[in-house]
Structure 1
């Protein structure tokens, strides 16, 4: 089963692989669903295995388009489940936004080593600030975990790295050429290698830094996630099968 803890906290993806594994190992909970937090409902979706869609709103529950008959106490649990997920949304977005800031600072540090001239010129900061603002707008507007999972966050990190690579290349190009003209081919190659290292390995190093910084905050979500597992207990889908939006690994 694909582990998609972000389907319930909208957070794991912005923290990346290690943090997601922390949730998997510490909370011992996983999910195969993606989640869209809509104004009128929570919508859980997965491509395979019924139920493929689960909808929750104000104490009502439907699976694959069929309403589920609920007792009053079950209606209360469904309503609390929805409220709990919605309460996690601003916390998750704050984590994601902080993760982008950490990633940007990590890129600045990488750039300062590879091309200190570019870092000092202001061009680097302008490019980074524009990209960070764009990603934060996308995070603020997003209501789906498809935009928050690990692959998405790695893509965001790659966007940041890609933005600055031309600036670094331009900065060291003239210096490398001057060294080469003076016969220092090794020095010229070393300059170019530093920039290439930011482009090729920078994304992985940036993501590692984000993961390490956010890990304690991601792990702190475990009690809230476990509460969702408890609220789900005993609920069934429209076919009478146990509803397993979350599954315990214990």
Structure 2
């Protein structure tokens, strides 16, 4: 039954592909979670749970209190906000492509299983993919772009369908084993091996394409990092904002 766990792992390649993209030539590290509003960037501290930043049109608020800024910092914050919106737009497209990739991976398994159950599964997957892509678009248009939302939604989509697929594969394997037809059981096992190999190759290739899309974010991220490092404003404890850092 090792073939069962291998197929499930193949489905999760899209998630490992996303991880590889984040570990690309300019992987991002930040002490903040970002939410993109129509008129502002809102950042909440991960390590400092009580720290909340708001950046809007060259102005900065820390925990609700507006900070005094030099003209240089005002312009830098405007530029940071502008570049952040460019990155968010590109990230939205990347997220929709990741959703499509996850849906394709799962649908391929459903199609390979065949039968009415497989067809119904493929339809459910496609419906969910369309709805999830629409939700991503809607959230972005409303300015509610949350950098953790996409990952959670894709993981939820994969998690919903992997058990159903695993159960179907198990049922087919048991049916082949109980049929008494050794040749049929062997053919089923070989079919699963071939399918696993093919889908791993396809998902790896598509995952690399996603990585290239992720790397296209690097120029804008580098601009944000440079602007962040140039900010003169300091927090009450004397520390810099340190919005983002990149590993090159």
TM-score in terms of structure 1 length: 0.72
Does 2:233 match 1:242? no
Instruction: Give the match for residue 80 of structure 1.
Output: 79
Instruction: Give the match for residue 147 of structure 1.
Output: 149
Cα drift, residue 38 of structure 1: 1.3
8 Å CA contact retained: 2:35, 2:145: yes
8 Å CA contact retained: 1:62, 1:237: no
8 Å CA contact retained: 2:56, 2:81: yes
Inter-partner Cα distance in structure 1 for 2:190 and 2:243 = 48
Unaligned runs of 5+ residues in structure 2 are 1-14
Matches within 5 A, 1:43-192: 43-49=42-48, 52-113=51-112, 115-118=113-116, 122-140=119-137, 141=139, 143-149=145-151, 152-162=153-163, 164=165, 172=172, 177=175, 180-181=178-179, 183-184=180-181, 187=184, 191=188
Unaligned runs of 5+ residues in structure 1 are 1-12
Cα drift, residue 221 of structure 1: 0.9
Cα drift, residue 70 of structure 1: 0.7
Inter-partner Cα distance in structure 1 for 2:160 and 2:209 = 20
Secondary structure of 1:35 counterpart: strand
Comparing both chains, which one has the higher relative contact order based on Cα–Cα distances under 8 Å and sequence gaps of 6 or more? 2
**Deviation per CA, 1:70-108, whole angstroms, max 9, x where unpaired?**
111211110111121112222211111111112222223
Residues 143 and 248 from structure 1, CA distance in 2 versus in 1: closer, same or farther, beyond 3 angstroms?
closer
RMSD across aligned positions (CA) = 3.9
8 Å CA contact retained: 1:42, 1:57: yes
TM-score in terms of structure 2 length: 0.73
**Deviation per CA, 1:8-63, whole angstroms, max 9, x where unpaired?**
xxxxx8962111111xxx12542121101112311111232387221101110122
Residues 162 and 41 from structure 1, CA distance in 2 versus in 1: closer, same or farther, beyond 3 angstroms?
farther
Residues 243 and 20 from structure 1, CA distance in 2 versus in 1: closer, same or farther, beyond 3 angstroms?
same
**Deviation per CA, 1:184-232, whole angstroms, max 9, x where unpaired?**
268459859988xx9xxxx999975653230111111111100001111
Residues 178 and 220 from structure 1, CA distance in 2 versus in 1: closer, same or farther, beyond 3 angstroms?
closer
Inter-partner Cα distance in structure 2 for 1:76 and 1:152 = 35
Residues 190 and 77 from structure 1, CA distance in 2 versus in 1: closer, same or farther, beyond 3 angstroms?
same
- Report how many aligned residue pairs link the two structures: 227
8 Å CA contact retained: 1:33, 1:46: yes
Secondary structure of 1:61 counterpart: strand
Secondary structure of 1:241 counterpart: coil
8 Å CA contact retained: 1:97, 1:136: yes
